[in-house]
Structure 1
């Protein structure tokens, strides 16, 4: 049986790490792959993964996941790159110890680590891409470097949406769009949609400028009927604390009834109590897991495009779409839903049906087949007969 080792550079509970938790857990439960998880630092995700019964290791040695950030500049990025290479060599030994037949890098930093580790362990490296590899997010030079590096070292790509896949230099390498599935579970009854003046609006996600919570607050302030309660559910990571302070000041200045919850391990109670879930990213979202989670919880959803949410929401059928960063469009969409509880109910009912299309068990099934195929190709390419036939042009990997 193929053993797949997944590598993450951080154990903080952010969107990509939670998506990996669900995927690895589903792969383990299906029994089609042996799986293991490696983190380069300790953190909450380590215990969460172990609680799911997944073999989980923390790479020994000091590692700072904030090195080589977009804002660290060329010199800082170069130092971080060298540190990643050093840790990648140690990871290669651990990859061999775990019996890996394929290594899966869960981020751009993990890609650098994995490139060294996979070469040392002589296993193929697959890049599972959770972010659009584009200049509007990473900047021009880092985007170019990542695209070239991915093309040089990865033997296959897993993309979390068509929008993400479109930013990758796939060429003729195997690639699969694998949506970050959700764990459906039983459908839980929820309160009816409230009257306009009692409406509860919720946003779930990290408090970060590109997530657009400031755009939402200004849009809400311009609505004809102000919601009774607004929840901003999410914490700050990666030195984004000043943005929360800006949001708090903005909410006070606009006299909005906003509650900042900070980070919560499970936002489901907030989603089940919300009438409207708003996804308001100002940059194209790679996928938008919270959109699916809100639909599954029975919210009426407003999501921003372009990007992954346009692959989830059918406007007017199971939600509304607006252009990211457009306050006037967002205000108009909020006015439409706040004023019409019957419309909210219709959209939320259809949204629950749509959410079932993103069952994690289906995603895991296709990912297992993909990784097993990558591993088998690698082992076939290492056989003497394959090398001899390839040398004479009669076979291809």
Structure 2
């Protein structure tokens, strides 16, 4: 049995890291691969992985995970890049110790780390891409660098949507779409859709300018019948605390009934209580896990385009789609749903069925077959075994 070691630079519980938790857990349960997880910092995700019985290591280095975030200057990018290379060499030894047959980089920073680690461990590197590789997200220079690194070092690609795959330059390297599957479980009971004046709206996601929570607040303020309650569910990471303060000020100025929950481990109770879930990203969303989660919870969903939500929702059947950043469209969609509880009920019923297409077990089967095939090809090509590598179990 092949061993896949997954690598990421952060243990904060954001969307990509939670998707990785679900995937690695499903792979372990299916038993088609041995799996292990390596983080380069400690944090909440480390304990979550271990609670699920996943072999998990923390390998620290002198690297600030914020050194290569969106908007970093050239000097900071160069310094961060050099630190990544040094840490990657150390990680290569850990991959050998874990008996890796394939190494999976779970972020753009992990790609840099993995390029060095995979070379030292003599195993293929797969880049699981959770973000669109585009200048409007990363900036021009980092995007160019990442394209080059991917072509030089990635032996295969896993993209979280067709939207993401279209931004990659995979060349002749194998690539698969692996949606960030959701752990659906049984349908939990929930109350019916409320009357218009009692409507509850939820937004789930990290509080970040590109997630568009400010757009949502202004759109809500313009509705004909304002919702009774708006929940902004999510914390702040990566120096984004000032944005939360801006949102709190905006909510006060607009006199909106907004509750800021901060980070919550499981938003499902909020979603089961909400009538409408709004996804309001102003940049194209790579996929939109929360859209599926809201659909499964029985919410009527409004999601922004372009991007992954277009692959999830058929407009007027499973939810409504609006152009990201367009406050007027979002207000019109809110007015439509708030004013028609029957429509909300019909959309939510169809959405619950559609959410089943994104069960994590299907994603895990796709990923297991892809990784095992690359590992077997590498072995067949005569990759020399390492005396440090542990036997497969």
**Could you tell me which residue of structure 1 aligns to residue 351 of structure 2?**
351
Task: Give the drift of 1:69.
Answer: 2.0
Equivalent-residue separation in structure 2 for 1:75 and 1:199 (angstroms): 49
Equivalent-residue separation in structure 2 for 1:66 and 1:145 (angstroms): 17
Does the residue aligned with 1:71 lie in a helix, a strand or coil?
Answer: coil
Cα-to-partner distance string for 1:58-107 (whole Å, 9 max, x where unaligned): 00444321122232200001000000000000000000000000000000
Task: Give the drift of 1:380.
Answer: 1.6
- Check whether the contact 1:95–1:117 (CA below 8 A) recurs between aligned residues: yes
**Could you tell me which residue of structure 2 aligns to residue 136 of structure 1?**
136
Equivalent-residue separation in structure 2 for 1:211 and 1:60 (angstroms): 30
**Could you tell me which residue of structure 2 aligns to residue 91 of structure 1?**
91
**Could you tell me which residue of structure 2 aligns to residue 276 of structure 1?**
276
**Could you tell me which residue of structure 2 aligns to residue 392 of structure 1?**
none
Equivalent-residue separation in structure 1 for 2:71 and 2:351 (angstroms): 38
Name stretches of at least 5 consecutive residues in structure 2 with no aligned partner: 385-393
Task: Give the drift of 1:36.
Answer: 0.1
Does the residue aligned with 1:72 lie in a helix, a strand or coil?
Answer: coil
- Check whether the contact 2:88–2:115 (CA below 8 A) recurs between aligned residues: yes
Structure 1 residue ranges (4+ consecutive) displaced by more than 3 angstroms after TM superposition: 60-63
Q: Which structure has more RCO (C-alpha within 8 Å, separation ≥ 6)?
A: 2
- Check whether the contact 1:41–1:63 (CA below 8 A) recurs between aligned residues: no
**Could you tell me which residue of structure 1 aligns to residue 52 of structure 2?**
52
**Could you tell me which residue of structure 2 aligns to residue 147 of structure 1?**
147
Scaled by the length of structure 1, the TM-score of the pair is: 0.96
Task: Give the drift of 1:166.
Answer: 0.2
Equivalent-residue separation in structure 1 for 2:64 and 2:280 (angstroms): 30
**Could you tell me which residue of structure 2 aligns to residue 326 of structure 1?**
326
- Check whether the contact 1:127–1:158 (CA below 8 A) recurs between aligned residues: yes
Q: Tell me the number of residue pairs that the alignment of Structure 1 and Structure 2 aligns.
A: 384
Alignment of 1:200-219 (within 5 A): 200-219=200-219
**Could you tell me which residue of structure 2 aligns to residue 30 of structure 1?**
30
Equivalent-residue separation in structure 2 for 1:134 and 1:78 (angstroms): 19
Scaled by the length of structure 2, the TM-score of the pair is: 0.97
**Could you tell me which residue of structure 2 aligns to residue 314 of structure 1?**
314
Indicate whether 1:79 and 2:84 are aligned: no
C-alpha root-mean-square deviation of aligned residues, in Å?
0.9
Alignment of 1:45-194 (within 5 A): 45-194=45-194
Name stretches of at least 5 consecutive residues in structure 1 with no aligned partner: 385-397
- Check whether the contact 2:71–2:139 (CA below 8 A) recurs between aligned residues: no
Between 240-249 and 64-73, the greater mean CA deviation after superposition:
64-73
- Check whether the contact 1:68–1:79 (CA below 8 A) recurs between aligned residues: no
Equivalent-residue separation in structure 1 for 2:178 and 2:196 (angstroms): 38
Does the residue aligned with 1:261 lie in a helix, a strand or coil?
Answer: strand
Task: Give the drift of 1:383.
Answer: 6.7
**Could you tell me which residue of structure 1 aligns to residue 267 of structure 2?**
267
Indicate whether 1:369 and 2:365 are aligned: no
Indicate whether 1:244 and 2:244 are aligned: yes
- Check whether the contact 2:62–2:87 (CA below 8 A) recurs between aligned residues: no
